[in-house]
Chains A and B, each alone.
Chain A
Amino acid sequence: MSLQSSFIEIFISHIKREFLINFRSLVDVISIISFMILIVTLFVLGIGPFEEKLRLISNAIFWIGLILAIIPSLEKTLQRDYDNGWLDQTITSPTPMELILLSKSLAYWLIVIIPLLISLPLFIVLLNINLKLIPWLLISILVGGLSISLIGIIGSALTLGAKRGNILLPILIIPLIIPILIFGVGISEAVRINESPVNNLFLLIGFTLIYLVISPFISAFLIRIAISR
C-alpha cells in the first residue's frame, strides 16, 4: 500500500514539475494555435472561398491542422531532458522510468492539448463547423489528443540523439497516427450526416487504450537504449 501511494505521489510530483517548466511561458500553446490557423488558411487559400466545398471538407481540414500543428512540439518533450542530463539522473533512481514517462505524456496532454480546446470556438467560426458537433469534437480531441501525446513520446524517444531528428520525427509519427485521423474525422462526419458517431468514438478510445498500455514501456525501453550510448 505504501509503495502504491508513493508511486502516486511520484506521479503527481512529475506532472507538477512539467507544469512548472512549461507553464512559465505559454509560447508553446500560442505557437501551436497560430500554426494551426496558418495551416487552415493555407487549405482555404488552396481550395478557394467556396462555401459548399469547405463545408464538405472542413472536418478533415480541422483534424489535419490539429495533427500537423502538434507534431513539431512533440520533439521537445524528451529532447530537453536528454540534453541537460535529467534523464541520466532519473534512470538511476528507483522510480520506474515507465511511470515517469506516463506522467510525462499525461502532462503533455494537460499542458498542450487541453489549452488547445480554448481555440476551438475560433475554428468553429473559421471553418463554419456545425454547432451540434461541439460536444463530439471536444470528446474526440480529448481522446485523440491523449493518443497523439502517447505516440508522440514514443516518436520523441525514437529520435533522441538521432541526426536530423526533427525531420525524421514526422516521417516516423504520421504513419502511426493515421487511425486517429480516420476515427476523428469519422466522428465528425457521422454527426454531419446525422448518423451515430459512437462506433468511431469507441474505436478511437480503443486505439488510445492500446497506446496507454504499451507506450510507457516502449518509450522507457528506448530511453534505456539512448542513455546507454
Chain B
Amino acid sequence: MFDWLANPNRFNRITEKIQPYILLIAIITLISGLYFSLFDSPKDYQQGDAVRIMYVHVPSAWLASFLYFSLAISCVFYLVWKHPLADLVSSSMAPIGALFSALTLVTGSLWGKPMWGTWWVWDARLTSMLVLFFFYLGYILLSNAFERKIDGSKTASVLAIVGLINLPIVKFSVDWWHTLHQPASIIKIGGPSIDDKMLLPLILMIFALSFFSLYMIILNVKTKLIEKKCEALLLKSNLEEMSKIG
C-alpha cells in the first residue's frame, strides 16, 4: 500500500480528492468538540472550570506521541525502502509534532497554575513530554545541519529510530524516578474514570486535532513536492544555459 502511495503524482491526485473532506471533518469536529467542551460538559467537582483545559491538553499530548511514532515508522520506510516521499512525510510531521508537544507543555502549565499553584511541576508526564519535545527538536536540528538535504534526512531518520527505541525507556525511567522521589499524590489530568459527558468532547477534540494535523501534513508534503519540482526545473534551466554557453 505504501509502495502504491509512494508515487508523488499518485499521492497528489489522491490527496487532491480527499483533502477537502479531511478539512471538513476537522472543522466540524472542532466546532462541535469546542462547543461540548466549553459549554455543554460538567465542571469537575475538584478542578472546576479548569478541567476544560484537558480537552485541548489530552488530545495534543496524544497526538504528540502518536506523531513521533508515525514519524519514526516513516523514517524506517525511508531508510529501508528509500522512498523519497517517506522522508517528506516525516520531515513534515516533525514541526507539527513539536508544536503539539509544546502545546501540551503550555496547556499543562496553564492547568497547573490553578491546580498546583505553580506554573510548572516536575510531574512525570510533563517531564517525559519535555523530553519528547527535545527529541523533536533534535530531529529538526539534525536534518538541517548538513550541506546537502539528503544527508540530513538520512542521519535524522536514524536519530528518530534511536529515539523510538529510547523513548519508552525514558518514559519508564521518568515514571520510575517520580515514584522513587514522591508517592503519586498529584491529581492526574483525566484520571482513570471519566464521565460520559466529558468523554464525548474529548473524543471529538481528538478527532478534530488528528484530522487537522493530517490536513497540515498533507499540505506540508505537497509544498515540499512543489519545492523539489522547482529545484529540479531550476537545475535543468541552468544546465541548458550552461550547455548553450559551452
Contacts of A189 in B (CB 8 A): 180
Considering only CB atoms, which chain B residue lies closest to A163 in the complex?
B145
- The secondary-structure label for the interface of chain A is helix
Q: Bits for A154-181, please: 1 = Cβ < 8 Å to B, else 0.
A: 1000110111110010011011101100
Answer whether residue B14 sits at the interface, using C-beta atoms and an 8 A cutoff: no
A158 and B176 contact, CB distance less than 8 A: no
Query: In whole angstroms, what is the CA distance A200 to B177 when docked?
Result: 10
B146 and A163 contact, CB distance less than 8 A: yes
Contact check: which of B151, B161, B177 meets A182 at CB < 8 Å? B177
Q: How far is the CB of A222 from chain B (nearest CB, A)?
A: 6
B174 and A222 contact, CB distance less than 8 A: no
Q: How far is the CB of B159 from chain A (nearest CB, A)?
A: 6
Contact check: which of A175, A182, A221 meets B135 at CB < 8 Å? A175
A222 and B135 contact, CB distance less than 8 A: no
B170 and A178 contact, CB distance less than 8 A: yes
Answer whether residue B22 sits at the interface, using C-beta atoms and an 8 A cutoff: no
Contact check: which of A158, A182, A225 meets B173 at CB < 8 Å? A182
Answer whether residue A198 sits at the interface, using C-beta atoms and an 8 A cutoff: no
Contacts of A168 in B (CB 8 A): 138, 141-142, 145
B174 and A162 contact, CB distance less than 8 A: no
Contacts of A154 in B (CB 8 A): 162
Query: In whole angstroms, what is the CA distance A210 to B173 when docked?
Result: 15
B174 and A178 contact, CB distance less than 8 A: yes
Considering only CB atoms, which chain A residue lies closest to B169 in the complex?
A179
Which of A154, A175, A179 has the most chain B CB within a 10 Å cutoff?
A175
Contacts of B134 in A (CB 8 A): 171, 174-175
Contacts of A165 in B (CB 8 A): 145
A162 and B145 contact, CB distance less than 8 A: yes
Answer whether residue B165 sits at the interface, using C-beta atoms and an 8 A cutoff: yes
Question: What are 5 contact pairs spanning A and B, CB under 8 A?
Answer: A161-B146, A179-B169, A214-B162, A225-B151, A229-B148
7 further A-B contacts with Cβ under 8 Å, apart from A174-B134, A203-B176, A225-B155, are: A158-B158, A162-B145, A163-B146, A186-B176, A218-B158, A225-B151, A226-B151
Binding site for A on B (CB under 8 A): 131, 134-135, 137-138, 141-142, 145-148, 151, 154-155, 158-159, 161-163, 165-166, 169-170, 172-174, 176-177, 180
